[in-house]
Amino acid sequence: MMWVVYVLLGLLALVLLLLLIAVLRTLLAGHKVSTYKPDPDPERAERYAKALSRMVRCETVSVPGEDRREKFLGFHRLLEELFPLVHAKLEKSEIDGNLLFCWKGASSERPVVLMSHQDVVPAEGEWSHGPFSGELAEGKVWGRGSADTKCSVFAFFEAVEELLAQGCVPPQDVWLSSSCTEEWAGPGCQKLVDELKRRGVKPWLVCDEGGGIITDPIAGIPGNFAMMGVFEKGKADVKFTARSSGGHASAPPAHSPIARLAAFVDRVERHSPFKKAFEPEVRAMFTRLSPYAGFGLRLLFGNIWLFGPLLKLVMPKLSAQAGALLKTTVAFTMQSGSDACNVLPQEATLWANLRFIPHQGMEESLGLIRALAAKYGLETEVRAASDYTPATDIHGEAWQYVTRTVEQSFPGLPVCPYVMTGATDARFYQSICDSVIRFAPVIYGPEQMKGMHGVNENLEANCLPGAVDFYKNLIQGLE
């Protein structure tokens, strides 16, 4: 039996050696601090905040399936007032309330698209400042759309306005794109992409919202970080139906429709059918964030090669967002059953929203959930499904260019790739552009993140000058 002891001692020695290597790598990598804070520029911040305030006051709520073009035409009139040179010198196309501007450059070889959406979600609940007041208070612009995302619409329009006033001719064609249906995944942006296809335009770079300058992106990693989205998870709405012959509630049978749906939900919640894995972009994100963490997290995040299995257990406990980076997710959202308390339903339904990760894409994920639902006697119907988008090359020329522009515009701001667990209009551009980066150059602290799609949405006014400068630098630095 001595050989068993030798094997165990050998395994222990190997584990200690691997731990020693990980500790040494962590120590040699050193500790870094994110130092970026917006430079004080009160005159510009106040001027920009007043313009953004007016944009917020122009209510642009979009509703699925409703034609609200006239409302957006009113917003366009405001844009013309705020940015007269853009409207005088650029070619404008308006398609069903969606906007596309072309600024001809010295070359058309590598055109760039700057984009963000005009529409906002409804404002519900009790607000400390009116949701469409655009109030300027506490150094912030308050109201629906201030952070999501009229701020970036303002910033790239203002950047072009200022460059036009200086007589600038961009090195490459610049397109400004803004849909009015983003918030409900409507067809607006696709119409703009179709127009570019008709003109034979293939952008070299598309820069949309999605990521941003995020404060404290993960618990234990303090400071501001440029989190630049490189791909979006896919998504689908799925309906599960349980049927029976119904009957009176006084004599309930086993395995009634709602009981089967409940058992199915419990099974998925307790034992997810989807496997966890680190996509290359997620690995790169944690590798770049790790030097900014305390030693414990730095050891874990900087050595995923060793601690990956542990992190797969820990990350979902850090936050739901962190857990969603590792696997396809399922969120159960709506359900229905009988119309009366004492009647068993002949049909009970349950809806779920799935978000697909590349290592288990749409077809595989839907197949797994469909097979599991069948074990509980449920029918599965898939609605509005789309797969994950291709990833932008984080070693490619376009990514490196945007990274340099961030470093130029925001000294001391670290750059990290980021996986979008939500959806943006950027996905429509994937069909004509290989380098689609989701980054709004404004600061989103915990308060701003909470306010998006929630109550008391706001944006710190002091980050607006940096956002305008980012777009100016991005345009002027093109080759």
Pairing of strands 224-232, 140-142: unpaired
Report whether pLDDT(23) > 90.
Answer: no
One-letter amino acid of 95:
I
Note whether 307 and 290 are within 8 A (CB): no
**What's residue 9's pLDDT?**
65
Torsion of CA 156, 157, 159, 165, to 10 degrees: 160
pLDDT, mean over the chain: 94
Q: How far apart are CA 49 and CA 55, in angstroms?
A: 10
Confidence of residue 315 (pLDDT cuts 50, 70, 90): confident
Element (H, E) at 206: strand 205-215
* pLDDT for the residue numbered 1: 63
Indicate if the pLDDT at residue 8 is higher than 80: no
- Is 70 exceeded by the pLDDT of residue 355? yes
**pLDDT over threshold 80, residue 115:** yes
Cα–Cα dist 420/429, whole Å: 15
For position 255, what pLDDT does the model report?
86
What's residue 253's pLDDT?
85
Using alpha carbons only, how large is the chain's radius of gyration in Å? 25
Q: Give which of 160, 165, 163 is closest to 178, Cα–Cα.
A: 160
CA–chain centroid gap for 456, Å, is 20
Alpha-carbon span 75 to 79, nearest angstrom: 6
Per-residue pLDDT band for 215 (boundaries 50, 70, 90) equals: very high
pLDDT of residue 471: 98
Average pLDDT over residues 221-241: 96
Start-end of CATH 3.30.70.360 domains in the chain: 234-386
Q: Which option is the CATH number for 234-386: 3.10.20.30, 3.40.309.10, 3.30.70.360, 2.60.120.920? A: 3.30.70.360
Check: CB of residue 161 under 8 Å from CB of residue 85: yes
- CB 323, CB 355: distance < 8 Å: no
Range 141-154 average pLDDT: 97
Q: What is the mean pLDDT of residues 232-240?
A: 96
Close Cβ partners of 28 (under 8 Å, ≥ 6 residues apart): none
Where residue 142 falls (left for φ over 0; alpha for ψ -120 to 50; beta otherwise) is: beta
Strands 436-444 and 205-215 come out as parallel
DSSP bridge pairs for 98: 95
Q: Which of the 8 DSSP states describes residue 290?
A: G
Residue 13, pLDDT above cutoff 80: no
**Rounded CA separation 269/272 (Å):** 6
The pLDDT of residue 320: 84
The CATH number of domain 42-230+390-476 is 3.40.50.11890: no
Among the listed residues 211, 229, 224, the one whose alpha carbon sits nearest the alpha carbon of residue 32: 224
Instruction: State how far the Cα of 177 lies from the Cα of 207, in Å rounded to an integer.
Output: 10
What is the mean pLDDT of the segment spanning 116-140?
Answer: 96
How far is 406 from 275, CA to CA, in rounded Å?
35
For 35-45, write each residue's pLDDT tens digit.
999 988 999 99
pLDDT at 343 over 90: no
Query: Residue 225's pLDDT band (boundaries 50, 70, 90)?
Result: very high
The letter for the amino acid at 249 is A
pLDDT band at residue 5 under the 50/70/90 scheme:
low
What is the H or E stretch that residue 375 is in? helix 362-375
Instruction: Band the pLDDT of 133: cuts 50, 70, 90.
Output: very high
pLDDT bracket for residue 250 (50, 70, 90): confident
Phi, psi of 215 (to 5 degrees): -85, 130
Q: Among 29-33, 201-205, 431-435, which is the least confidently predicted range?
A: 29-33
Q: Which of 319, 313, 325, 441 is nearest to 388 (CA)?
A: 325
- Asked if pLDDT for residue 326 goes beyond 80, the answer is yes
pLDDT for 106: 97
The pLDDT, as a whole number, for residue 344 is 87
- Percent of the chain scoring above 70 in pLDDT: 98
CA distances from 289 to 283, 296, 408 (A): 10, 13, 20
CATH 3.40.630.10 domain range(s) in the chain: 42-230+390-476
What pLDDT is recorded for position 4?
Answer: 66
CA–CA distance, 436 with 203 (Å, rounded to integer): 9
